[in-house]
Amino acid sequence: MIPLFARERAPLVALLAIACAALAAGCSSSTSSSASSGSTPSSPASASASSSALPTGTVNVAYASSLQFLNEKVVSPAFTAANGYTFSGRGASSGDLEADIASGEITPNVFESVDGDNITPLEPKFTNWYIQYAGTSMVVAYNPKSKYASKFKAIADGSMPLSSLFTLLQTPGLKLGRTDPNTDPQGRDFIEMLELAQTYYHLPSDTVAKILGTPDFGSASSSEIYAESALDSTLESGQLDAASAFVTQAIELHLAYIPLPTAINLGSAADAAQYKKAKVTIKGGVTKSGSPQVIDITIIGTPTPAAIAFVKYTLSAAGLAQYKAGGFTLPTPTIVGSASSVPTEISSELGG
């Protein structure tokens, strides 16, 4: 009777209904989120519930890919609960992020990078300080179902000498995965780690070339090279025998891994001079040398309250504890650069 519900109109009506429902859901979610973040800061005297006294705003954080899990799943909810600011993050390789920030493609408030070398090019235009606060190190992750798994396991728990790992990696048919040294610091770190191992264990001088499959270490043309996003998933799906990884990455993704000694794993600030001896020449003739895998944090551009709160939180006892739980080492936080430019709330956190 009612023409709207006539048979032949049913698909159109269904489509309209779905569209309306989607619209309603969109409206209600935006109103609810604005309700939670739209509360104005009230004076302490009139504050009743703690949530209504929390400030509003968003902090945009650009972080190195290895910090993705930690930031998105651990730090972000805790930070928002403690401080009220919302967290909006994007992860990519530190080198990409530095290039994007420099060119204006992205404008984050906070930049967390692996290796200060990715922050120094941004000085002094975007910032002139950074704080080293956490560290990670290289390991070799392996596929527990690989046919070489028993050997990997033996090396990992010490029953086989670690130096045999590098002979094992040369086995033809063993599928090793790593990332592009031109675009991903981890790609370079892996090569530097191999060079350090070759020296440390007095291995034949062509060991690294044989493992990488090419004498041109900085080349991107190798069938071992995967995009960062592809490497872990390919290892997880069992299509690789071994892959480069940071210890923190391996812990987060529950990958089996072989820990490496500090002399070669780029994880100790004390061995920085040693690490520097390993070099990789990438495209454009640029030579990069090994450096300790320290995580650095800085604020890009004019510090916003949300950005300051985030850096302060990250460097607080609670924040650092989250990093420790994720497998990071915690050296003493050190300011590199112009200490006077560091916002006082942050430097007080360090001093305290």
Residues that bind another protein (CB under 8 A): 93, 95-96, 99, 102-103, 105, 175, 180, 182-183, 220-227, 229-230, 233-234, 237-239, 282-284
Nearer to another protein, 21 or 230 (CB): 230
Per-position DSSP letters for 33-94, written without gaps between them: HHHHH-PPP--GGG--SGGGGS---EEEEEEEGGGHHIIIIIIHHHHHHHH--EEEEEEE-H
Residue in the structure block whose two tokens are 């916003």: 304
Cα angle, residue 148 at apex, residues 143 and 149 outer, rounded to 5°: 50
Nearer to another protein, 87 or 226 (CB): 226
Smallest distance from the beta carbon of 167 to another protein, in angstroms? 21
Spatial separation of the C-alpha atoms in residues 96 and 118, rounded to whole Å:
9
Smallest distance from the beta carbon of 230 to another protein, in angstroms? 4
Contacts of 203 (CB under 8 A, 6+ apart): 163, 166, 167, 197
Nearer to another protein, 67 or 197 (CB): 67
The four Cα atoms 271, 276, 279, 284 give a dihedral, to 10 degrees, of 140
The four Cα atoms 168, 169, 173, 176 give a dihedral, to 10 degrees, of 150
CB 321 within 8 A of CB 338: no
Nearer to another protein, 201 or 226 (CB): 226
Spatial separation of the C-alpha atoms in residues 160 and 51, rounded to whole Å:
56
Spatial separation of the C-alpha atoms in residues 97 and 309, rounded to whole Å:
22
* Burial status of residue 314 (CB atoms within 10 A of its CB: 0-12, 13-18, 19 or more): buried
Nearer to another protein, 33 or 229 (CB): 229
Smallest distance from the beta carbon of 269 to another protein, in angstroms? 27
Smallest distance from the beta carbon of 16 to another protein, in angstroms? 22
Nearer to another protein, 172 or 351 (CB): 172
CB 245 within 8 A of CB 139: yes
Nearer to another protein, 3 or 172 (CB): 172
CB 292 within 8 A of CB 185: no
Nearer to another protein, 50 or 223 (CB): 223
Contacts of 234 (CB under 8 A, 6+ apart): 177, 226, 240, 243
Smallest distance from the beta carbon of 164 to another protein, in angstroms? 23
Nearer to another protein, 116 or 177 (CB): 177
Pairing of the two strands 294-299 and 110-114: antiparallel
Smallest distance from the beta carbon of 104 to another protein, in angstroms? 9
